[in-house]
Chains A and B, each alone.
Chain A
Amino acid sequence: MAEQYVAAVDQGTNSTRCILFDRRGRLVSVAQREHKQHFPRPGWVEHDATEIWRNVTRVVPAAIRQIGALPTQIVAIGITNQRETSLLWDRRTGRPIGHAVTWQDTRTDRLITELAGDEGPDRFADLCGLPLTTYFSAPRLRWMLDETPGLRERAERGEVLFGTMETWLIWNFTGGPDGGLHVTDVTNASRTMLMNIETLEWDDHLLAAFDVPRSVLPEIRPSSGVFATATAVLPGVRIGAALGDQQAALFGQTCFSPGEAKCTYGTGSFLLLNTGKEIVRSTHGMLTTVAYQIGSQPAAYALEGSMAVTGSLVQWFRDGLGLIHTAAEIETLARTVDDNGGAYIVPAFSGLFAPHWRSEARGVIAGLTSYITKGHLARAVLEATGFQTLEVVNAMNADSGIALTALKVDGGMTANNLLMQFLADLLDVPVVRPMVTETVSLGAAYAAGLAVGYWPDLEGLRSNWHRAGQWLPNMDPTRRAAEYANWQAAVQRTFGWIRPGQ
């Protein structure tokens, strides 16, 4: 019998990819297409959902073609997606109503302040586990319903559908206007601010607070379980899973037990700690989120530490300053010096995420002297990712009461050995890279394969996990403490930059 594969569709911020995995969880083929970023105004970031779906219809066949396989060799589709990016579309025509408004978009800034009112940004945290920020979907959905004339009425009549990207893809995979299935999964729903984190259902109080009609919302399903059989692109193949990208990475790293954590290093970076069936409420700026739900089993929860600017700081160093030609060259430049020379870069480009959540903060380069060269700055750029991780790990340890013993890492920046060693030095724990760096796609494939019986159970998945590289701590504790103190002092200098009335 011909080899069978699971197809992971990763609808990311910059591109859409299809990766095929075999039974041992090994990557066998990759196809990718980038989509256009639309910046209609400062702080606004949009995607064309039609372009994204078109890319899906191209990358899936391309990935299959690459290894000369047939569509019949695909046993399941697993979908993973950029989280919180929000879209409305016409149920009858299937056409998007405007562009998708992405997670980086800050147009809801003022709305957030209004909604927070006197009770402050944490007023809904008990219900949904999240603070009010521009990051999550509900304020964006509210904005879209408010700003487009007549849209709210149409939404109330059931003519308009809302979805994050996995909902849009599943609807199109299952026929679109012709009987498309309107569903989401618990992980994506947990990022809207509309789902009750305990009942895993849309919450009337939250719907009322954000003034969102229930009729626009998709049905919430477990992350792993057969959603439907595709009728488009891969007709006859079952859609076995949908998860938000960071949750998918946690799944792909096989962090199935409470206390296991992973950090994905990309444009931004996200550290997730599995807390099992327990809903841990953070008092240190972490988010409470759903990690995954397998079929009818109870959901697993996670604490999440989100860092807005990590890989994108390297991109800025390349594109904004032009000091390097490719992102990878930053390591070469950083290695021209032995240390940061006393310079620290705090990349609070649009405020600070976890654990500070300061939207008025703006970035600084602290400790500048005439001694500082571009090599030192390159180091400071990489170290900023290390220091931000340490802040998140400290907060997470405080919230969970469990000290991290090792950090599983993945994502593009794990190719940077200097950064990985710095992380181990700073966190004082081993940093471990798995054999498959594409853990986001792998997690979606795992969850889908599990749903259709391609893999028997979680233990079977665990045995696929192998260590591909490891960095051990090797830094003098005094120096570690001094470096962190300097970083913290630099962070203080970012606060309060945007002042009222500016």
Chain B
Amino acid sequence: MLRLLASAPNGLGVADLGNALGLAKATVHGILKTLHQVGFVEQDHSGAHYHLSDAFGRLGDTYLDPNELRSRAINWADSLAARSGEVVRVGRLVEGKVVVVHHVFRPDDSDQDLDVGTTLPPHACSLGKAVLAFDTSGGAKPRKLEAFTTRTIVDPARLADELASVRAKGWAAEFEEHTVELAGIAAPIRGLGGLVVGAVGLTGRIERICDSRLRHRTDLVTMVRATAEAIGRDLREDR
């Protein structure tokens, strides 16, 4: 189907494709719908013809521009910071490090510096674990797990367990693994086709992020996950 679409500059309709491939209309429709959802084909204005999107030719490139991710995340990240009262960051995995793509100050008007562009160790922070858990490139996994505090996970087997639990829960926790007295919560942002393109999360002092039994507060977890979902929905609905 992709070959046919690529060779038809004016696009093809469902019937054209069905006839050419000997497939039922419903089948063609289902395949086209999937290809459309992941951004490989586009519809013309009338909706009658499909053609290959230029995203198809750029498959090897990074799928989402980091500045695009920021511009999609900004409203939702602001809202999360305002509602949680904590620092919010959006990060993505680049060459084995988490790069901060967007940073919203803690809303208390204290002096804070923007750290967009700085990097974080993925195994030692919630943002990192939220993206590492869904990374398939393998190359992103740090070879040596550096310790930042006594709580940093430095054993690869333990990290693998931790990432499995992130996948199961759908969010990642951080508890003094990067900086003493700080905790964090992050959730993966899923773009087109469910691909994880980054994570959004908050960081703050343990007594604000965790309850009296040192468990991450469920209301904050819900907020972070809803924020990640809202950003993802924005990214996916664009096509």
- Give A469 to B116 CA distance when docked, in angstroms: 10
Interface members, chain B 95-138 (any A CB < 8 Å)? 103-105, 107-109, 112, 114, 116-117
Q: Is there an interface contact between B105 and A470, defined as CB atoms closer than 8 Å?
A: yes
- Complex A-B, nearest 7 residue pairs according to Cβ-Cβ distance, in ascending order: A466-B107, A415-B71, A328-B68, A328-B67, A331-B67, A328-B71, A26-B82
Interface members, chain A 384-432 (any B CB < 8 Å)? 412, 414-417
Task: Indicate whether B78 reaches chain A with its CB closer than 8 angstroms.
Answer: yes
- Give A326 to B64 CA distance when docked, in angstroms: 10
Task: Indicate whether A468 reaches chain B with its CB closer than 8 angstroms.
Answer: yes
- Give A417 to B74 CA distance when docked, in angstroms: 12
Contact with A438, one of B75, B112, B116 (Cβ below 8 angstroms): B75
| Min CB gap B141→A, angstroms | 26
Q: Is there an interface contact between B103 and A435, defined as CB atoms closer than 8 Å?
A: no
Given A417-B70, A468-B81, A469-B105, 12 further pairs, Cβ under 8 A: A27-B75, A325-B54, A326-B68, A328-B65, A332-B66, A435-B82, A436-B82, A437-B75, A466-B82, A467-B105, A467-B109, A469-B104
Contacts of B68 in A (CB 8 A): 326, 328-329
Give the nearest-CB partner of A472 in chain B: B113
B179-196 near A? 1/0 per residue, CB < 8 Å: 000000000000000000
| Min CB gap B65→A, angstroms | 5
Give the nearest-CB partner of B73 in chain A: A415
Q: Is there an interface contact between B74 and A437, defined as CB atoms closer than 8 Å?
A: yes
**Listed A/B pairs (7) with beta-carbon separation below 8 Å:** A325-B54, A327-B71, A416-B71, A435-B104, A466-B109, A469-B114, A470-B112
Task: Indicate whether B79 reaches chain A with its CB closer than 8 angstroms.
Answer: yes
Contacts of A329 in B (CB 8 A): 65, 67-68
Chain A residues close to B by CB (< 8 Å): 24-28, 30, 325-332, 412, 414-417, 435-438, 466-471
Task: Indicate whether B83 reaches chain A with its CB closer than 8 angstroms.
Answer: yes
Q: Could you say which of A331, A436, A438, A469 has the most chain B C-beta atoms within 10 Å of its C-beta?
A: A469
| Min CB gap A243→B, angstroms | 21
Chain B residues close to A by CB (< 8 Å): 54, 65-68, 70-71, 74-75, 78-79, 81-83, 103-105, 107-109, 112, 114, 116-117
- Give A74 to B78 CA distance when docked, in angstroms: 22
Contact with A26, one of B70, B74, B79, B108 (Cβ below 8 angstroms): B79
| Min CB gap B114→A, angstroms | 6
Contact with B78, one of A24, A330, A436 (Cβ below 8 angstroms): A436
- Give A330 to B65 CA distance when docked, in angstroms: 10
Give the nearest-CB partner of B62 in chain A: A332
- Give A332 to B116 CA distance when docked, in angstroms: 14
- Give A469 to B75 CA distance when docked, in angstroms: 13
| Min CB gap A446→B, angstroms | 15
Q: Is there an interface contact between B78 and A437, defined as CB atoms closer than 8 Å?
A: yes
- Give A437 to B103 CA distance when docked, in angstroms: 14
| Min CB gap A410→B, angstroms | 11
Q: Is there an interface contact between A326 and B65, defined as CB atoms closer than 8 Å?
A: yes
Give the nearest-CB partner of A327 in chain B: B71
- A435-B104, A435-B107 given as contacts; is B78 within 8 A of A468 (CB)? yes
Contacts of A330 in B (CB 8 A): 67
- Give A25 to B107 CA distance when docked, in angstroms: 13
Contacts of A435 in B (CB 8 A): 78, 81-82, 104, 107
- Give A495 to B42 CA distance when docked, in angstroms: 43
| Min CB gap A425→B, angstroms | 14
Contacts of B66 in A (CB 8 A): 332
Contacts of B112 in A (CB 8 A): 470
| Min CB gap A369→B, angstroms | 27
Contact with B65, one of A30, A332, A438 (Cβ below 8 angstroms): A332
Q: Is there an interface contact between B67 and A24, defined as CB atoms closer than 8 Å?
A: no
Contact with B116, one of A28, A325, A412, A417 (Cβ below 8 angstroms): A417
Contacts of B109 in A (CB 8 A): 466-467
Q: Is there an interface contact between A468 and B65, defined as CB atoms closer than 8 Å?
A: no
Q: Could you say which of B71, B81, B83, B108 has the most chain A C-beta atoms within 10 Å of its C-beta?
A: B71
